[in-house]
Amino acid sequence: MLAGIGAGTLGALLGLGGGIFLVPMLDVVLGLPFRTAAGISLMTVVATSSFVSLDANSRRFVNPRLAVVLLTQTVLGASLGRLLLPLLSDEVSGRVFGVTALVVALVMLHRLRRRNVILDPLAPLGRLGSRFFDPDNGADVGYRVDRVPLAMALALLAGVISTVVGVGGGILLVPALNSWCGVPMRAAAATSVLMIGITAVPGVIGHYVDGYLTLPVLEASAVLGVLTGSRLGFWIAAYSRVVVLKLLMAVILIGVGGAYLYFT
């Protein structure tokens, strides 16, 4: 349950599924088979997404139109990833992910102080732009989604990588949307959580049908922990400055990317 709380907190705070921390915890520390750990982790991703899509505080950051447009690419990417899976070795997949994560982290650090918000209430926001109350400015702000083809390509890549490497696409999608496509950090995180929850549904069904979800008490503990952690994550996010969230994201990217490069 503690691991679930941690994963849920990070999920709600930064738009990550939390699987990147939960899977090693369940697999290495608790000694569960990898596929069982992955199945429980996917279940917790869906739980975090469910919370984000229904909680009044988090709903105002979600951009459903952007999510739907990007989901067409992410789900396609996940299917392409399954075709690529037999062609790529674990070593190659791990290194590609490690290098990608480090590049994204460096871009994020380079643009640490840049805010993507538009303060003018009359400024046109385009078909995919949105508006939300920004705690950093204490006012309603808007944003436009720039470079939509790039955002769609990144969503496709996130779908491929999530299947090939076995991590949620959020760890790449959130910093990429924030750094390259003009989406503010809070909106990118909330939209990403909604997206990865929807993308994870076929995976949960697959793990269930294949018989990997066989520990009901542990599954219930993890999901209830994640739901508690999601609430904690949004509470922390409300009192955190965006630059702190970005720094935390960059540190996680460097740590995870470095670990993939070192261990593969």
Part of the chain binding other proteins (CB under 8 A), chosen from 74-82, 98-106, 146-154, 229-237: 74-82
Under the criterion CB under 8 A, does residue 171 sit at the interface with other proteins? no
> Where do we find the tokens 């949004």?
234
How many beta carbons lie within 10 A of that of residue 262, not counting itself? 9
Size of the site for other proteins (CB under 8 A): 51
Contact between 151 and other proteins per CB under 8 A: no
CB closer to other proteins, 56 vs 87:
56
Does 205 help bind other proteins (rule: CB under 8 A)? Answer: yes
- Rounded to whole angstroms, the Cα distance separating 60 from 231 reads 15
Name which of 49 and 100 has its Cβ closer to other proteins: 49
- Report the nearest approach of other proteins to the CB of residue 76 (Å): 7
Part of the chain binding other proteins (CB under 8 A), chosen from 20-28, 70-78, 168-176, 239-247: 70-78
Question: What is the contact mask toward other proteins in residues 110 to 149, using x (rule: CB under 8 A)?
Answer: --------------------xxxx------x---------
Least distance in Å: CB of 210 to other proteins? 8
Q: Which amino acid is at 7?
A: A
Q: Give the x/- contact pattern for other proteins in 1-40, rule: CB under 8 A.
A: ----------------------------------------
CA pair distance 95, 101, nearest whole angstrom: 10
**Residue with smaller CB distance to other proteins, 25 or 226:** 226
Of 128 and 252, nearer to other proteins (C-beta) is 128
What type of residue is 232? L
Which region holds residue 211: left if phi is over 0, alpha if psi is between -120 and 50, else beta? left
Of residues 188 and 204, the one with the C-beta less far from other proteins: 204
Instruction: Give the nearest distance from C-beta 61 to other proteins in angstroms.
Output: 8
Please list the residues that pair with 130 across neighbouring strands.
Answer: 143
Name the site residues for other proteins (rule: CB under 8 A): 43, 46-47, 49-51, 53-56, 59-60, 62-65, 67-69, 71-72, 75-76, 78-79, 82, 130-133, 140, 194, 197-198, 201-206, 208-209, 213, 216-217, 219-221, 223-224, 227
